[in-house]
Amino acid sequence: MTPNLSLQLYLFLLHLTALATALSPREPAATPQTSPTPQSWEIIKSGRYNILGCSDRDSYTLKYLLSSLHTFIQPAIDDADRAITNPSPAFTTFFHSPLIAANQVSKLLTDISTGRSAYPPSSAYMRGEEEDGFGTNPLKSGNPTFVCISEPGKNFGSGGDDPNLDGYDLCKGNPALVMDHFRGTQYVNVCPQFFTIGIPPLPPKGHCLGVNRILNRFRGSGALLSHFQVWVLLEEIAGYYMGATKGEGIKDFGYYEGRGEGASHVNECVRLAATKALRNEMSFVYYVASIHGQCTSFPDLSELKKRFRLSSSGPTLPESITAN
């Protein structure tokens, strides 16, 4: 064999070897596995409020809603401050007695407006921090803190309603649940569906409930007024402050003790006595929403109050204006 043929055969065999190597199946390259780090939990600030574990888009949405809430709530604070001398129809509808409720309503709404801290900072990012390596909580205060629950293990609020319940399971198991404040803690868990199920962010101008004058009560359940993202935030932040009461929270800021009345239907809220309304988050939602909408149509409670005399711990209004 001539040298030229030998060289050509060698190059041909080398080419075949390279081609076979290129076509042979390969093991996929290993993907580096990294544990979550505290840097994954960048603290986004909106005034005094904290936002944790959210995407850029979702953080922006929460900041926009908190800014809007701050603006929307100011007229209600002014209305509550005037209530002792000149109560509005909205105030007397949802809180009845200015002497009992005016200062408390103004105080709670002012705290919501500023995001004032009602708790010391929690000691850890989440339950299970030792296994997951998240380290201690860098939050320097107990201000209201929104946490996006996008995956298992982000169970903020350990020691709250159920320390053994994972927030992710709670969100997935309740498709209608969009936010959940863990009472007694600074955390408000934000479920993924808050951003996806189509709740409008802000109410339109002049948005109010109608009144059935024959039955002397609001039409419907109240959802047409309250079903906006900004009012969902208001409800949960109100729960944050209502949880900071003697016996449940760390500090007693003068809010009425108790776990809340749990009334959500607007006509149920109207029937609550003054001190019960002060423990009911949705009473504040309907009140602020009514002031924001500059609503002027409310059930006529004047004659009913004369007959049944609502007191600080007295009876609810009669069934003539109960829920549907």
**CA angle, 141 then 146 then 149, to 5°:** 130
Q: Which residues of 1-23 are buried (b: 16+ CB within 10 A; e: fewer)?
A: eeeeeeeeeeeeeeeeeeeeeee
For 305-320, the DSSP string reads: HHHH---TT-PPPPGG
Phi-psi region of 199 (alpha: psi -120 to 50; beta: other; left: phi over 0): beta
Task: Between 134 and 230, name the one with better pLDDT.
Answer: 230
| Residue keyed to tokens 């003068």 | 254
**CA angle, 165 then 171 then 177, to 5°:** 120
Task: Between 44 and 185, name the one with better pLDDT.
Answer: 44
pLDDT band at 173 (very low <50, low <70, confident <90, very high): confident
Between CA 161 and CA 147 the distance in angstroms is 16
Mean pLDDT of all residues in 153-173? 64
Whether residue 223 contacts residue 201, with contact meaning beta carbons closer than 8 Å, is answered with no
Task: Between 165 and 271, name the one with better pLDDT.
Answer: 271
> How much is the pLDDT for 301?
85
pLDDT at 304 > cutoff 60: no
Between CA 197 and CA 221 the distance in angstroms is 20
Q: 224-283, pLDDT tens digit by residue?
A: 999 999 999 999 999 888 877 543 433 333 333 444 457 899 999 999 999 999 999 999
Instruction: Kindly state the percentage of the chain with pLDDT values over 70.
Output: 65
pLDDT at 323 > cutoff 80: no
> How much is the pLDDT for 9?
53
Mean pLDDT of all residues in 278-291? 96
Sort strands 49-52 and 145-148 into parallel, antiparallel or unpaired. Answer: parallel
Q: pTM for the whole thing? A: 0.75
pLDDT band at 130 (very low <50, low <70, confident <90, very high): very low
What is the number of helices (H) and of strands (E) in the chain?
A: 12, 7
Cα–Cα distances (Å) from 84 to 100, 103, 286, in that order, read 9, 9, 20
> How much is the pLDDT for 30?
36
pLDDT at 160 > cutoff 70: no
pLDDT at 129 > cutoff 50: no
* Spatial CA neighbour of 121 closest among 141, 144, 136, 138: 141
